[in-house]
Chain A
Amino acid sequence: MAAEFAAFTSQAILDKFQKRVEVVEVWAGRILAGLVDGTLVVLAPDQQGLGGAGGKWQVQQAIKGFGKKYLSQLQVAQSGSLLFSLSEEGVNAYTLPKFKLTCQANRTRGASRFAWDDERAMLCVGCKKRLLLFHYDGKEFVETRELALPEPVLCMAWCGDSVCLGFKNQYATIHAITGALTDLFSTGNKPGAPCMVPVSKTELLLAKDNVGIFIGPDGKPSRKVGLTWSDCPVALAYSRPYVIALLPNYIEVRSAERVSQHGMAQVLPVRSASLAAATTAPDGSAFVACVSDTSTILRLVPVPLADQALQLADMEEFREALTLAALIPDVQTAGRAELEDALHTRYGHHLFAHGEFDEAMAHFGMCSYANPLMLLSLFPSLAAPKMLEPVASLMTDYKLPPVPEPEGEAYTKAVSVLLPYLLSHRSRLASFDEAGAAPDSQEASSDVEAAEAGQGQAQDGEAGPAHARLAGLDAEQRRQLAVLVDTAILKAMLDMSDTGALLLFVQRPNWADLSEGEKALQAAGRYSELVALYQRRGQHDKALDLLQKLSQKPGSLKQAPQGASAELNGLTGVWAAVKYLVSVGGSEQDLVKRHARWILKADPEAGLEMFIQMEPPLPPATVLPVLTAQAPALCAPYLEAVLHNGVADAAEFHDELALIYLRRLLEDEKAQPDAVAYANNVAQANGTAAGSTSGTDSAFDKLKDLISSSEHLDAERLLSVLPSHSAPEIRALLLERLGRHSEALQIYVHRMKDVKKAEAYCDRFYETKTAGRSKGTMPAAAWNSQDDSAAYDMYLALVQVILEREDESAPSSGRASKPSSSTWGEVARLLSRKQDRIEPNHALNLLPGEVPLHVVLPFLEGAIRGAGEQRRNAAVVKSLRKSENLQIWEELIRCKQRHFIVSSERACTICHKRIGSSAFVAYPDGTLVHYSCYKRTSTGNLGASGGSGMGSHRRVSSGIPIV
């Protein structure tokens, strides 16, 4: 490692001192040094305060014989006003600053070590094989306890309620209250005195050979990790977070908070061979006395934590650096945050370079100004460096060493780690824009407002500085950033195994750059995703061209289709195109027209489906020419579907549809010379057995249905198109629509020889005509009405037609003009079947004179019987009416018979006065009232006459009161 880490800088404050310094202690910015002969030397810097780094220190005071014979230990109480010293005569307490002896601890003569605890004001003294505990009450030491020890104590320190003791070969703790002595562990195999240093009030560091072990008040190791020095320490000092170990030839500084196993150490050289003592000032400075033939006191001034952290970072010890940065007090938060950002960035960078992508990204993520650019700059293949330029203001200010982009497997791994972070940045951008958009809508917003919105967001707990940086960009730059991020996401997903996520991503709104994405997707053969991207960007033509290629000639693509697109050859591709066009909808007419061609060619059904499903639908007028040109057979199903779902207007397209049917019908006819017979057969089959499946989907049936159901057909036009020799039934139907009944009937009877159909025709006509009025009146009376004569005259028209046939056929056949009996029979049967619908007189008039009577007999019989029936019916009706009349008379008489007896007691029910001889009103329930009272109570009510007013007044609906 090139650079040497320095936690402290050393400075000699006392050099080449002739006497041996045994002990040093810090007191109010001064140093108390105890000499081997018992002299106490007070050292102070030239200028007051410890600050002056280069400042000279001078001996301020020297008290000879401060300790008798020697001074082996000094400790200043936390208050700074009390000093404890250990010399041959024992532990003495002095008040500071005058060094006035206040008291002595009894029986401590010849003590080896003491430990003072500020909190409890307790002094613990190891004196030969005894341990004495004193309480200092402000004036003197009061012995509280004496405990026996197996051997003299060499060092000791308080730790919670216990005192940790170091013997020659062993460490032990003794509980100050219970006196329980617990052995800990040996001091090690190598020769050397035990040594320890308090790290906190409840934690001690004990040296065992060259290993430091942290223990808690219970004597058990408090940390899993200890410290290791390169030699056995002679003395230890602690300046958070460092343990300063005085080794026989040098000082070694190691962090007690170290996190990595190869914790950094600083080594400070010292000239002398042996080191004696060390102590720590409140500002973190440590003072070390080194002794050989002369004494030196070194002051170790801590390097500011931030500088240390940077040093460590320079040495790539980022974790240590971060740990140190965390120790910087909160007062300096701003600086610390900056430092930590720098450390996270550099650490992330370092980790990234070493293939630790997960941790690297996590550290980038911990930067307060984390932004996608930091990440993207590491992946030139996801985002070309020059594309980053427009938003370079987001870049960190640190010059980071260039890191080659990972390759191969590592690249895939890195990208998969990167992806969620990119997505999170995407979310942040989106939520930033959302927050920024809010003020936008209220009033014209400036960037300042956007920044404020960003700040508001920050208060919601989002990373503030990151938002501030985003706010520093204008909308265009933010858009560019979004493009960068989304493009990178697209490319990153391409490099990962296909889970369908990429397709999902491009299908949703995104900012991915079209040309970049196009290139990348093409190179990877991910055509489905490319189609989706095209669609997102409105490049429908390109998308559909691609789909066409995929489906029709996948071989023409440079890169074999991968992923979802691999399945798009052939029909699936066609259907994909159909789905595409359906979603684009009818707004893109030209597009649909252009691509309908190949789709229809490849799979007519798909094409049909497309036109039918399209939302918004394409106007049928546009679709039909396309279909006629490409797949005429589909015109009819298309029109049927769009008519059914209401896209096409019946008025407009029924004609079209009928013509299409007609055309097909004629084609069929041409193909099958006996089509007429066929049509007749079918017609007969339909006429007799409903729902014969064979014929239902034929053009003939559809046309028939259409003609009979549609209200919009132009029958005239169709008729003109229909050749006279074909499809007689259709012709008949059309004629029917036009009201040319006799022509229609002629077709049925003569051309089709189907009297039943003709009769059905008449029935249909009759029923529609009479349907309207049949409700109120009796059916039997229908033909009585003169208005509806046309309805039943149709039957007569039929009879006429049947007879005409005979007339026509007679000369041609050369037979006698005598109608054949079969014809007569037919006519007769018809007449008798429908006799209730035919005016017999009219019918008789129609029949020519030569009709044999026996033939007409059934009809006449029927007619006479019908007339008789009618007469009887009328008689019954007459009688019924008469009895009804009688009933009403009876009722009337009963009503007239009502009477009331008005005696002198009868009183008016309203005024309760006697009726007397005044005019009165009687209610139907028998109560009587004065006429005047009645008038009064029914003021304004109908009440002209007593009689008619009653009903509404008393809830009685009938009855005639007598006035």
Chain B
Amino acid sequence: MASRKRTLLKVIILGDSGVGKTSLMNQYVNKKFSSQYKATIGADFLTKEVQVDDRLVTMQIWDTAGQERFQSLGVAFYRGADCCVLVYDVNVQKTFDNLDNWRDEFLIQASPNDPDNFPFVVLGNKIDVEEGRSRAVTEKKAKQWSTQKGNIPYFETSAKEDTNVDAAFQCIARNALKNETEEEMYIPDTVDMNTQQTASKASSCC
């Protein structure tokens, strides 16, 4: 069977509990934000159609539980991911420190073919909190980390105020597609014999 163009992108969101993974996803997909915190149980996904250049792709975003007691069986979710989004809360140092763990865990569990070039995207969320006065992680530090880990794109976001969310996910989609093998250019169909046959048949009966 001819290799069809990839139209399904699987994206995994990882990060500590309470950094806003679900909120980011909801803001992006549903344009909704609720300040009420509800711990995610297990894992769930939302889908969104995304236009990347001239292609329409379906992005399936898997939101996972940050709390260990709700985490379920990462390997089942990580399998076949096209991009992994690491989220931390810029106001909580520990969530940033844990990015390393999340990244390692993902690479171990998902074991992608080319771990060094697997697309990650880092999001520093909640930049709206107290207008940034309560920040614990500077942008510089986060960027430094992202660069160190293989030039991971870094975005500062606020799911609450919808800052940078679209841009971040656009980048995520683009990066998820990056790993795809170069697709061949379109080659026009040759004459469709089938069509001609039906044409003659149709005209004879009419």
User: Could you tell me which A residues sit within 8 Å of B by CB distance?
Assistant: 1, 4, 210-211, 223-226, 228, 230, 249-250, 252, 260-262, 265, 267, 269, 358-359, 362, 365-366, 416-417, 419-420, 423-424, 426-428, 430-431, 434, 459-462, 499, 501, 504-505, 508
Contact = CB atoms under 8 A, between A and B. Distances in A.
A265 B4 CA distance: 20
28 contacts: A1-B194, A224-B185, A225-B186, A228-B189, A228-B192, A230-B199, A249-B199, A261-B186, A265-B192, A269-B202, A359-B7, A362-B47, A362-B58, A366-B47, A366-B58, A416-B76, A416-B79, A423-B72, A423-B77, A424-B42, A424-B43, A424-B44, A426-B72, A427-B41, A460-B26, A460-B34, A461-B30, A501-B75
B54 interface: yes
Given A210-B191, A358-B80, A365-B60, A427 B43 contact: yes
A460 B32 contact: yes
Nearest to A265: B195
Given A265-B195, A428-B44, A420 B62 contact: yes
A757 B46 CA distance: 85
Contact of A4 (B42, B44, B80, B198): B198
| 3 shortest interchain CB distances as A-B pairs | A427-B42, A269-B203, A461-B30
B206 to A, nearest CB: 5
B40 interface: yes
Given A269-B202, A269-B203, A501 B188 contact: no
A34 to B, nearest CB: 27
Contact of B41 (A4, A226, A359, A430): A430
A230 B8 contact: no
Interface in B157-206: 185-186, 188-192, 194-196, 198-199, 202-203, 206
Given A359-B8, A460-B26, 11 more contacts: A228-B189, A228-B190, A249-B199, A261-B2, A420-B62, A423-B72, A423-B73, A424-B43, A424-B62, A459-B32, A499-B75
B29 interface: yes
A501 B43 CA distance: 15
B58 A250 contact: no
A416 B77 CA distance: 10
A262 B77 CA distance: 34
B102 interface: no
B29 A223 contact: no
A97 to B, nearest CB: 36
Contacts of A420: 43, 62, 76-77, 79
B45 A365 contact: yes
Contacts of A462: 44
Interface of B: 2, 4, 7-8, 26, 29-30, 32, 34, 38, 40-47, 54, 58, 60, 62, 72-73, 75-77, 79-80, 185-186, 188-192, 194-196, 198-199, 202-203, 206
Contact of A267 (B80, B191, B199): B199
A424 B26 CA distance: 16
A461 B46 contact: yes
Contacts of B194: 1
A367 to B, nearest CB: 10
A186 to B, nearest CB: 15
Contacts of A434: 41
A427 B46 contact: no
Nearest to A422: B76
A428 B40 CA distance: 10
B192 A230 contact: yes
A431 B39 CA distance: 9
A358 B8 contact: yes
A423 B43 contact: yes
A430 B42 CA distance: 9
B8 A362 contact: yes
Contacts of A224: 54, 185-186
A249 B200 CA distance: 10
Contacts of A225: 186
A376 B34 CA distance: 33
Contacts of B185: 224
A371 to B, nearest CB: 13
Contacts of A1: 194
B202 A267 contact: yes
Contacts of B80: 358, 417
B197 to A, nearest CB: 10
A297 B72 CA distance: 65
A228 B76 CA distance: 43
Nearest to A10: B206
A457 B193 CA distance: 53
Nearest to A417: B80
Contacts of B2: 261
Contacts of B7: 359
B191 A230 contact: yes
